[in-house]
Amino acid sequence: MTRNLVLILGDQLSHSISGLRHSDPEKDRVLMAEVMDEATYVQHHKKKIAFLFSAMRHFAEELKEKGWTVDYIRLDDPENPGNLKDAIQTWSAKHEPEKVLLTEPGEWRLAEMFRKLNIEMLPDDRFLSTKAEFAEWADGRKQLRMEYFYREIRRKTGLLMDGDDPAEGKWNFDSENRKPADSDLFMPRPLEFSPDAMTSEVLELVAGRFADHFGDLEPFTLAVTRQDALKALDHFIETALPEFGDYQDAMLTDEPILYHSLLAQYLNCGLLEPLEICEKVEEAYRNGKAPINAAEGYIRQIIGWREYIRGIYWLKMPEYVDRNHFGHDRALPGFYWTGETDMQCLRSAISQTRELAYAHHIQRLMVTGNFAMLCGVDPVEVHEWYLAVYADAYEWVELPNTIGMSQFADGGVLASKPYAASGSYINRMSDYCGSCRFNVKKRTGEDACPFNALYWNFLAKHEDKLSDNPRMGAMYSTWKRFGSEEQERIRESAANFLETL
């Protein structure tokens, strides 16, 4: 007789997760399932699907070794119903548990489905702030700025604190973290892992069942166990963290990783937990192995931005996905799936995304995201693309980053201004422009960098919505100084380019 049937989802691969902590391996059994619905509701990158299926299978084996009874439904199991709802109902009928139990999912869509099934959901306490705590912090505030929330989490955790004060007297060292990188810098390489027999079996499955999905499946070098994810964490701290801060915004054509950690996919599926990562980063700083700007910059991404984004998601859903402040409705350009474009910055970012299921935050924000916003692409299409193509993407973390930060479709709930930029920003932070057929110094004409005319055209088109923003005043003053003839040339260049999309 089974007391509880404990459902573990693909992003809940933590032995400390509340669903397991509140259960007993002698009385309860675990249910895990690879289902087609979850693998295909957007066209997930082949490498992302393989990573999660392999990590799930390894996690199930670890649970069995710890004494759990695990019902694991593989994708190619003849009894696989293809969706989580039917899987729960079928296995509940088999075992007749007193109740079905799970840790609350990270996605609003799934949470609603499970509520309708009358499943008991436990809080996901792997995060450092609860939904209720974030809602309390947000209540009554006119502006929900991450920086102030981040300071509260610093105080709560004690990370990088010297008593009541932030380490070295400042909360934020971001001004030191905007250096362009030179290609002759020593670039560490992230730790790579060879597929074992279980992963190889998954790779064969994905190659056969998801051949039409986006991205390259191999080479596959990701960690799929907690043990290997911890090795990847230690390797990052030892080899890349010291330079992470300085060059975290830099972009180089032939260096897709630079000093980034490639840990987000492990963190977001549960193989690593936020506090343990931050404590190791702080330890490196305290021991003199990493400067404060690197340690603070990295910790802020996890306990500041990641926690804040989750809070925004649950505070604003389900209406948040429909926000479209600028009324954008253009279809996503086809080259977002192929990488076939003459714009070197977009070609590089999309090509490495196809290969690695990864691009770092500036490539996502200031290249692919910036371009989509300047072109007036429907924010939902941008959101679904980001959700599909990155191994670390789950709706709770990806949606607010896209709707709020990347596309400014929420009208300023999340960001204080649109992250819009012309080609000069990309030129300053990368080496892309030197090998591009377009001239980044030109605003108009067939050989002008498309970002330039698109940027000024975007500002002109949405002046009614943006001109009162105090952070946009200088841009609009520049626009007015162009004069009517130059403004018309810019509009014409933007219109001509947009026709080619």
Q: For residue range 295-312, what is the model confidence (pLDDT) as tens digits?
A: 999 999 999 999 999 999
Task: Evaluate whether 357 touches 391 at the Cβ level (below 8 Å).
Answer: yes
Which fold would CATH assign to domain 335-500? DNA Cyclobutane Dipyrimidine Photolyase, subunit A; domain 3 (1.10.579)
The two tokens of residue 311 are 């809070």
Task: Provide the pLDDT for residue 376.
Answer: 98
Per-residue pLDDT tens over the stretch 330-382: 999 999 999 999 999 999 999 999 999 999 999 999 999 999 999 999 999 99
Work out the percent of the chain whose per-residue pLDDT is above 70: 100
Q: Which of 2-6, 13-17, 221-225, 286-290 has the lowest mean pLDDT?
A: 2-6
Q: Which of 195, 196, 259, 191 is nearest to 229 (CA)?
A: 191
**pLDDT band with cut points at 50, 70 and 90 for residue 175:** confident
4-122 maps to which CATH number?
Answer: 3.40.50.620
**pLDDT of 1 above 90:** no
**pLDDT of 184 above 80:** no
Strand partners, 255: 252
Q: Which of 53, 81, 51, 68 is nearest to 17 (CA)?
A: 68
Using DSSP bridges, classify how beta strands 99-103 and 4-7 pair: parallel, antiparallel or unpaired: parallel
Three-state DSSP at 413 gives coil
Identify which has the larger pLDDT, 30 or 177: 30
**pLDDT of 462 above 80:** yes
**pLDDT band with cut points at 50, 70 and 90 for residue 497:** very high
Task: Provide the pLDDT for residue 195.
Answer: 98
Task: Provide the pLDDT for residue 370.
Answer: 98
> Residue 91: what residue type?
W
Mean pLDDT across the chain, nearest whole number?
96
Residue 424 buriedness (CB in 10 A; 0-12 / 13-18 / 19+): middle
In sequence order, what DSSP letters do the residues of 377-417 get, joined into one string?
A: B-HHHHHHHHHHH-TT--HHHHHHIIIIIIS-TTSSSS-SS
What residue spans define the domains of the chain? 4-122, 131-190+240-316, 335-500
| Arithmetic mean of pLDDT, 39-51 | 97
C-alpha 442: how far from chain center: 33
Task: Evaluate whether 339 touches 350 at the Cβ level (below 8 Å).
Answer: yes
Per-residue pLDDT tens over the stretch 265-295: 999 999 999 999 999 999 999 999 999 999 9
Burial 373-391 (b: 16+ CB within 10 A, else e): bbbbbbbbbbbbbbbbbbb
| Torsion angle in degrees (nearest 10) through CA of 150, 154, 157, 161 | 170
Which fold would CATH assign to domain 131-190+240-316? 1.25.40
Residue 379 dihedral angles phi and psi, to the nearest 5°: -60, -30
**pLDDT band with cut points at 50, 70 and 90 for residue 185:** confident
Task: Provide the pLDDT for residue 187.
Answer: 82
How does DSSP classify residue 424? H
∠48-50-52 over CA atoms, to 5°? 70
Residue 481 buriedness (CB in 10 A; 0-12 / 13-18 / 19+): exposed
How does DSSP classify residue 255? B
